[in-house]
Amino acid sequence: MPSRTVVIGVDSSTQSTKAAVVDAATGEQLAVGRAPHVVTGENGARESDPEVWWRALGDAVAAGLKESGLPGRAVTGIAVAGQQHGLVVLDRAGRPLRPALLWNDTRSAPQAARLTAALGGPGAWTARTGSVPVASITAGKWRWLREHDAASADAAAAVRLPHDFLTERLSGVAATDPGDASGTGWYSTATGSYDPALLDLLGLDAALLPTVAPTGAARIGSLTEAAADALGLEAGIAVAAGTGDNMSAAVGLGLGGAGLLDHPALSLGTSGTVFAASRARPASAALSGFAAADGTYLPLACTLNCTLAVDRIAALLGLHREDAAAGGDAVLLPYLDGERTPDLPDAAGLLTGLRHDTTPQQLLGAAYEGAVFTVLRALDELLRACGLDPDAPEVAARPLRLIGGGARGRLWVETVRRLSGRPLVLPGSVELVALGAAALAASAAGGGDPVALASSWADASTYRQFDPVERDMETWQRIGSVLERAAEPLLSSAP
Q: What CATH number did the domain enclosing 105 receive?
A: 3.30.420.40
The reply to whether 337 falls in a domain is: no
pLDDT at 373: 98
Cis peptide leading into 427, omega within 30 of 0? no
pLDDT at 456: 87
Contact 238, 447 (CB under 8 A): no
The reply to whether 443 falls in a domain is: no
Strands 6-12 and 75-82: parallel
Contact 81, 245 (CB under 8 A): yes
Instruction: Tell me how far the alpha carbon of residue 161 is from its chain's centroid.
Output: 13
The reply to whether 166 falls in a domain is: yes
- Type of residue at 422: R
Residues 6+ apart with CB under 8 A from 295: 178, 214, 215, 257
The reply to whether 333 falls in a domain is: no
Name the strand (E) or helix (H) holding 221. Answer: strand 219-222
pLDDT at 158: 98
Contact 39, 47 (CB under 8 A): yes
Contact 426, 466 (CB under 8 A): yes
Q: Per the structure, how many domains does the chain have?
A: 1
pLDDT at 259: 46
The reply to whether 132 falls in a domain is: yes
Beta pairing partners, 40: 47
User: Which residues of the chain fall short of a pLDDT of 70?
Assistant: 1-3, 257-262, 458-462, 489-495
pLDDT at 270: 85
> What stretches of 345-423 adopt beta strand conformation (E)?
350-352, 400-403
Cα distance between residue 28 and residue 26, in whole Å: 5
Phi first, then psi, for residue 258 (nearest 5°) are: -85, 15
> What phi-psi label fits residue 51: left (phi over 0), alpha (psi between -120 and 50 degrees) or beta?
alpha
Contact 347, 338 (CB under 8 A): yes
Half-sphere exposure at residue 395, Cβ-oriented, CA atoms within 13 angstroms = 13
CA dihedral sign of residues 446, 452, 456, 461: positive
Q: Which range of residues forms the domain containing residue 213?
A: 6-246
CA dihedral sign of residues 82, 86, 92, 98: negative
The reply to whether 35 falls in a domain is: yes
pLDDT at 178: 96
The reply to whether 113 falls in a domain is: yes
> Dihedral through CA 128, CA 130, CA 136, CA 138, nearest 10?
-40
Closest by Cα among 418, 369, 377 to 286:
377
pLDDT at 280: 81
The reply to whether 111 falls in a domain is: yes
Residues 6+ apart with CB under 8 A from 404: 267, 268, 269, 306, 307
pLDDT at 260: 46
Catalytic residue numbers read: 245
Q: How far is CA 46 from CA 69, 148, 242, 313, in A?
A: 37, 15, 24, 19
